[in-house]
Amino acid sequence: MKVLVTGASGFLGRATAAAVRDAGHEVRTFQRRASGLSGVSDAPGVSDVPGVSDVLGTMTDAAAVARAVDGVEAVVHLAAKVSLAGDPADFVRVNVDGTRSIVAAAREAGVRRFVFVSSPSVAHTGSSLVGAEAAPAEPSRARGDYARTKAAAELIALGADDPEFAVVAVRPHLVWGPGDTQLVGRIVDRARSGRLPLLDSGAALIDTLYVDNAASAMVAALDHAADEGVHGNAYVVTNGEPRPVGDLLAGICTASGVPAPRLHVPAGVARVAGSLVEAVWRVRPGQDEPPMTRFLAEQLSTAHWFDQRRTRRDLHWTPGISIDEGLARLAAAAG
């Protein structure tokens, strides 16, 4: 198939585009800057790596979106505004309006398969998730602008599903690995500066997803998107190895050569502090992301792990890299 991968200059997007290419598909990428896969540094062009070409543009440019989907048979849509803070209107423009634009353009162009890359946060309302399946996205109850707009975008994508335009939503949970500047980078930076507390005892069970497993899950979703009983559905994807959040943070810190967190803060205090920080950030935003938000406090203090049986059965997929092997790879990359 000829497959468009949006957001391929990002950590997961680049891994996904490479995995789709390695699975034998012809890949086109679409993002604001070159993906790094095509050998093209500043402009669109034919790749010096077989099967990959870049189209540069933004999700808010309808003409660029239409050019990107022209002639492709399938889309894996990862492009999004991902942040703990920012102008709410920016989240709407990129995540909601951008998804609506590419869904419409893809249908007009005759695309047959559409994989929407979502997030478990679209159905997280603040309480623990213990062995949960993929609950319906709830924009009105999701926490934070990112989660709310991704929830709305998922509903737009799944609402377009039909036998001629098969849509699957994949919700990768806390993707990490070497080169990750989001989860791993933030953990390492905060640990190095002593700003990475454990909330309560750090015993809340959470699951994560190693980046290679996330990319292979996207390929599996692409391959099986048109299957009866698969299209029109959402799937949470994890490693299926829930561990205490304190153990995971310690493992990432040790692999990265920084001290593991030792400071414990009551979760209730962190949630209140997160709400206050969010309020201040809306009035006087800092140069970086806020050190704590209510959503982040909830994520660090409540269990969130998911039943993977339906995901693995329907997508015919299993993770190939364990958490321990992933940590070993992280340590090797850190030198």
Pairing verdict, β 2-6 and 74-77: parallel
From the candidates 30, 114, 146, 210, give the one annotated as an active-site residue: 146
Would you state the pLDDT for residue 43?
41
Would you state the pLDDT for residue 40?
47
270 in any annotated domain: no
The arithmetic mean of pLDDT across residues 94-120, rounded, is 96
- Domain total of the chain: 1
Q: Identify the bridge partners of residue 206 per DSSP, sorted by sequence position.
A: 243, 304
Domain interval for residue 50: 2-179+208-240+304-320
CB of 128 within 8 A of CB of 303?
yes
246 in any annotated domain: no
pLDDT band at 46 (very low <50, low <70, confident <90, very high): very low
51 in any annotated domain: yes
Would you state the pLDDT for residue 280?
61
299 in any annotated domain: no
Q: Distance between alpha carbon 330 and the CA centroid of its chain, in Å?
A: 19
196 in any annotated domain: no
- pLDDT per residue over 286-298, tens digit each? 556 665 565 666 6
- pLDDT per residue over 226-284, tens digit each? 999 999 999 999 999 999 988 988 999 999 999 888 877 776 766 676 666 556 656 66
- CATH number of the domain encompassing residue 84: 3.40.50.720
User: Is the predicted pLDDT of residue 33 greater than 60, yes or no?
Assistant: yes
285 in any annotated domain: no
- pLDDT per residue over 67-86, tens digit each? 999 999 999 999 998 876 67
Would you state the pLDDT for residue 301?
67
For the question of residue 210 being annotated catalytic, the response is no
The arithmetic mean of pLDDT across residues 169-174, rounded, is 95
- pLDDT per residue over 197-238, tens digit each? 777 777 889 999 999 999 999 999 999 999 999 999 999 999
d(CA 212, CA 220): 12
248 in any annotated domain: no
200 in any annotated domain: no
Would you state the pLDDT for residue 274?
62
Q: Distance between alpha carbon 321 and the CA centroid of its chain, in Å?
A: 18
Pairing verdict, β 304-306 and 2-6: unpaired
